[in-house]
Amino acid sequence: MNLGEVLDVLARHRGSRVDEIREKITWLEVGGLEVVAVDERTGLLAGELHARYYDRAKRSVSMADCLALATARLLGERLATSDPALAEIARAEGCEVIPLPDARGRRP
């Protein structure tokens, strides 16, 4: 997910204010979050992952999910997620997962 998508989801779906979201993103960056641009290689891998694993009933992962996984794989980093379907795909692709708790406290 890119920062624009993060901002959009938090503002439109969660009702957060745009200025507060921008401030929190800045805090994350100051704390060490590395923001990387999506290049052709990453975009193609994300598309390949989505084509290979997406299933509306079993694994309805978004392109944004696949983009996060593609980025983690290409950078040799772990993927932090609370999404069981994304965690399953990441593990199948040999990417280490940092399991985050969902709204109910469950980890994938």
d(CA 28, CA 33): 5
The span from the CA of 87 to the CA of 101, in Å, is 12
pLDDT at 21 over 60: yes
**Annotated domain spans of the chain:** 40-99
Phi, psi of 85 (to 5 degrees): -65, -45
pLDDT one-digit tens code per residue, 76-89? 999 999 999 999 99
User: How much is the average pLDDT of 25-45?
Assistant: 89
Mean of pLDDT values over 62-79: 93
Contact partners, residue 40, CB within 8 Å, separation at least 6: none
> What value does the mean pLDDT take over residues 64-75?
94
**40-99 under CATH 3.40.50.720, yes or no:** no
Instruction: Give the orientation angle of helix 84-92 with respect to helix 40-53, to 10 degrees.
Output: 110
pLDDT of residue 50: 96
